[in-house]
Structure 1
């Protein structure tokens, strides 16, 4: 999975940032939902 092809670095980082952002948003929504349920 360690590809060092030229020009492929930006796409890899963009997909990484998108994956991290989606994961954070899902975690925040789940955390907010549970805090509302148990509040």
Structure 2
């Protein structure tokens, strides 16, 4: 995952965790909002 110039690497969620969380939520017919900034 790309890093912002203003944030350290530890401030980011790992890609695997995002995929697992989104699959879990969508599987339960939930909604998942992922905010991606303009510089990503």
Choose between structure 1 and 2 for higher RCO, CA contacts under 8 A separated by at least 6 residues: 2
TM bracket (short chain): 0.3 to 0.5
Q: With structure 1 as the length reference, what TM-score do the two structures score?
A: 0.41
Structure with greater proportional helix content: 1
Larger gyration radius, structure 1 or structure 2: 1
